[in-house]
Each structure stands twice: as C-alpha cells, then as structure tokens.
Structure 1
C-alpha cells in the first residue's frame, strides 16, 4: 500500500504536536503537585483536620450520603449584596468555616475563586450551584437546603472539602481532584497520594487536571 507523502508529513506533524502538548501538560502538572507537597509539608494541614463523627465511614466512597446535618444556626450575612462578588464580602464566613473544619482559609478561597469567581448565584452547565458549586445531591447530604445562601454553601462546601482531605490523608491535590471528579472515581483508580495522582493523570478528565492546577495556582496568591 502506498502512502501519500503529503499525508504522511501532515500526520507525523500532528502526532508530534500532540505528544509535545501531552508532555508539556504532564511536566506542568508535576510542578503543581510538587508545589502542593512542599506547601502542605510546611503548613501541616493534615494535623489540623478533625476526626469524623462516630459511625461515619468512607464505605463505597459515598461520603456525602453519610454526613449528618450541619449547624445552620448562624445568621445570614447582613446587608449582603448579590452583585458584590469580592471575596472580602465572605471573609468572616470563610474564616469561621476554616476554623470549624480544619481547612486552610487559603484553600477555601482558591476553591471558591476557581469554582464560581466568588459569585453566590453561579450555576454550572452540570447544575452545580453557589460559591463552592455544590451539586443538589451533595448539598442534600451535607444538610444544605439553599445552595445560593452563602452561609450554607461555604459551610457545606468546606465541610465536604475537609472530609475529602481526611479521606486522602491530607493530600491537597488528590482532595481537589476528588472535589472535581468525585471521590469514588479517584478512589477507584487507587489514588491516595500526589505521586499516585501524577501516575494516573491520564485516567482523569482533562477538566480535572486543569482544575487542580488552577486551584493550586490561585492558592499561592492567598498565602503571600
């Protein structure tokens, strides 16, 4: 069978470009994961994460279905303006949630920034809602009755993130991948550390790969 020289050259060039792009993504993601390891080593995030309540397990990866009701006694933010999407509007809520569930404030802010750009009314194409983009099922499991309420959304989203951090041993990059792609999907790949995440990078959606990188990049601006 004869191969057209022009077609061969074009195909070879495309393959080289694809390989180059894939390798560049892997190197970039590797740098992000290494940064995560270094940052978490200094902050010792894992030591701050609270233990799960008695009877709560991670069986079958359905963590959010096993979470109890959250405390919704906190009053709504006074004088809240929906159009004001600056994170300073939610500073006290983020700080309180971080202290309550042992999650660094810088991590909560960076997740909110990438998830919704601090827009409490944001809705994704998949139906995720609010500041921390909670799916309806996850919200119900967390006791969140109104995902557009910043008080409930930040509390519930931070609680969920805290439990993902604990499940994956304080490995922030892995917890972020689980936050985006789902803990069951990440666990099914046997991923428990940043190194294992890198080794299984190809098995995760490109959206998840980009998500982890964006959150880790954003976090550096909150830890200066």
Structure 2
C-alpha cells in the first residue's frame, strides 16, 4: 500500500513527554518492585496535590499546557523520574512490558518482511521502550511510534494494537531498507527523520551517512546511536 510521503517524514520522532530510565536496584539497595511501589505512591500524592492547587481553569492550563488530565499525569510522572515503559497514560496505571511479550509478533514480522529480529527489537526499544500505549509530543503512537498518516497508509487502523503496530512499523522499515539498498543506518535515519532528509545528504552508504551525520537533526544522530547500542543487547 502506498505511503503518504508527507506524513512519512514524521515517523518515529522522539520528542518524548517522558524519558526512559530503568534500573534493577536503587542506590539504597532496594529492589525494583520496592522502588516502583514507593514511587507510585509518591506520584499519586503529588498528582492529587497538583490537581487541587490548580483550582481554576487558568492555573490548570498553566500547569498542564497539553490540556488534558492524562498529559498532566505524564508530566508529573516525568518530574518524579518515571519511565516511559512503566506509566500508561491511557489507563493511568503503572505497568511494565518487555520484549518477550511480543516475541511471536516480532518473529512473524521479521519472517514476513525480511528484517532482522534484533533490529526490530532495537527499534521498538528505542522508540517506545516496549510500551504499546506511548504517544510522543509529535503525535507518534504505539510500540513503533507511527504517525497517523503513515499508519493509515500502512493499513494500521489502531496504532496502539501491538500486532498492527509491529506489522506496520516493520513493513515501513523494510521499505526504507529497500529504498536505500539495505544500508541500515540510512534506513533508520529515514525512519526517524524521513527519507527526504536522507536523500538531501547525497549519500549512498552507511559510511558516507556517518561522515555527514552532523547534518541531520540532533535527535536523529542520537537515534542511530541508540539503535546501535540497543541492538547489541538483542543480538544473538
């Protein structure tokens, strides 16, 4: 199915409302569940306090410029150091997902579109930290952070559905790999910043791309390096 070129340039933008930061143990020696429970209670108390403080519409708007309660929750969760893969802005619940939850879907998409499993996992990890309900400030949604126009072009009716997001995202990534003759870094740059930005560099290989990496947005520069680091964790 044809992709909307205009919307494709926005795929995977990573201007997150909240940042990913995970740790198995805190500095005090508490295990992760103890830390999570303590932080959750603190978050709930702070959310209630901030909501009460914003007694009128103007103050509420100042506190929550995004204009809805879920956005307020995300902003407060960020202030407490919460992670994108542990706070569900849709349900308001603190949940966690992990790569193994989507193993079958990833394996299926890998076989279907010819994209390596470790690359798919690295993209999902970097895009959403395996949180299927994440929405970026740019409007990208779901595990593989598809923009609405691109999702529609890929036949993805519900970007929050893991099966649709993974299939659509991997399909789109496979298009970029084919477009750039299998050059992975070029394909990843296109996934994040749009193929138009990559084409403007006039490069034909990953090596040439890295030589001109500084000409891409800082977000895309960091994105390529994050994918590389994450992929090392999932490599066989």
Please tell me the root mean square deviation across aligned C-alpha atoms, in Å: 2.4
Contact 1:61–1:187, Cα closer than 8 Å, also in 2: no
Contact 1:97–1:154, Cα closer than 8 Å, also in 2: yes
Residue 133 of structure 1 corresponds to 145
TM-score, structure 2 length as denominator? Answer: 0.60
Residue 219 of structure 2 corresponds to 207
C-alpha distance in structure 2 between counterparts of 1:169 and 1:132, whole Å: 22
Larger Rg: 1
1:95 equivalenced with 2:107 (yes/no): yes
Distance verdict in 2 for CA 1:127–1:158, change over 3 Å:
same
Residue 159 of structure 2, aligned match among 137, 147, 171: 147
TM-score, structure 1 length as denominator? Answer: 0.63
Ranges in structure 2 where 5+ consecutive residues have no aligned partner: 10-93
C-alpha distance in structure 1 between counterparts of 2:5 and 2:142, whole Å: 24
SS of residue paired to 2:158? coil
Distance verdict in 2 for CA 1:187–1:200, change over 3 Å:
same
SS of residue paired to 2:130? coil
Distance verdict in 2 for CA 1:85–1:216, change over 3 Å:
same
Residue 180 of structure 2 corresponds to 168
Question: Runs ≥4 in structure 1, deviation > 4 angstroms?
Answer: 60-65
Contact 1:139–1:156, Cα closer than 8 Å, also in 2: yes
* Structure with the higher fraction of residues in helix conformation: 1
C-alpha distance in structure 2 between counterparts of 1:94 and 1:84, whole Å: 18
